[in-house]
Amino acid sequence: MNNVPPGSDRLSLPSAFQQVHDDAAVEDRPFVDVEQLAQQIRETADKLLRDGASRGDLKLLSTALKELRYSFKVLTPYRHLRKVSIFGSARLPSNHPAYAAAVEFSRRIAEEGWMVITGAASGIMEAGHVGAGREKSIGVNILLPFEQEANPIIRGDLKLMHLKYFFTRKLLFVKESDAVALFPGGFGTQDECFEVLTLLQTGKAQMFPIVMIDEPGGNYWLRWREYIENELLGRQLISPADMSLFKVTDSVAEAITEVLRFYRVYHSMRYVHGDLLLRLQHRLSEDVMQRLRAEFADIVVAGTFEQTEALPEEANDAHLAALPRLRFRFDRRNHGRLRQLIDVINQADG
């Protein structure tokens, strides 16, 4: 497989506090340059003093801002590379089959030109770095009351960050990722699992593939999916299409294919004046266009699907100007169906 040409809105947008990726839901707002955004941060700090904010509140915001600023600096040189965030238990030993699966997954995705982001500790996190190797590993460690030391692969590397707050750490995991791979784990893994699913389901993150990988013959994620089907889908607490937001497998090869295929034709997305623009690697055939119009009319609130070139409003995305666009007025609600549309684009067009 060839490495997918990387890139997304986050490479060109100036905001340091962009919502996960570029928060496509607010793309209709007027363009604000870097100096204006920095001035807004200064004005907000002044307002906190006028509001009489407590020392504790100011300390929290100051620490979070410093952590994010430093992390953005560390990650900037690598923003033109695709990345996958790997989550899983820190308690699994190196002889566990899930550890071996994480090593293999990371090795194979790194061979495709991707970088691997983990929490930098032991267990599955260490396995992710073992497979990717130091050069293609990024670590986002959390400072805990009991010491959580970084694993030996990433320890001492300039791409290792130590954060105080879980919320800044979780923001970085999703903001910098083009895919998420989940291996068996405890509360933390489940927390990260449901967070990324919620962000995709609500449109607060750009669409990306989520793979849940069991050890060969394992049933951790199979049983999790049974719970989702029986208790959430069965009680109509989620939509049937939401099941398309993730894939459960015990095959590393299948997981790799799922991740890479997602970017086979689809590239990235952005809203402009209420329309959703899907950037594509190449134009779609008329047969595929007709299929989209027939099968996905339910998520279009006005007009229909059309192909277009980059719009003038996308001038700040000059590095993406050559990519064709699929343009339509998305209902901004049925993101499971949006994922299904992307799958059709990737699978049906040659």
Tens digits of per-residue pLDDT, 146-175? 756 899 999 999 999 999 999 999 999 999
* Tokens encoding 73: 């600096």
What does the pLDDT read at residue 44? 95
* Tokens encoding 156: 């001492």
What does the pLDDT read at residue 4? 40
What does the pLDDT read at residue 206? 93
Domain ranges of the chain: 78-262, 266-348
Longest dimension (CA), the chain: 61
What does the pLDDT read at residue 8? 39
| Of 283, 305, 258, nearest in space to 350 by CA | 283
Q: Is this structure's pTM higher than 0.85?
A: yes
What does the pLDDT read at residue 149? 82
DSSP notation for 325-344: EEEEEE-SS-HHHHHHHHHH
Q: Which residue has the tokens 């990235």?
A: 268
What does the pLDDT read at residue 70? 96
Residue ranges of the chain whose pLDDT lies below 50 = 1-26
What does the pLDDT read at residue 144? 81
| Of 8, 15, 27, 30, nearest in space to 275 by CA | 27
CATH of domain 78-262: 3.40.50.450
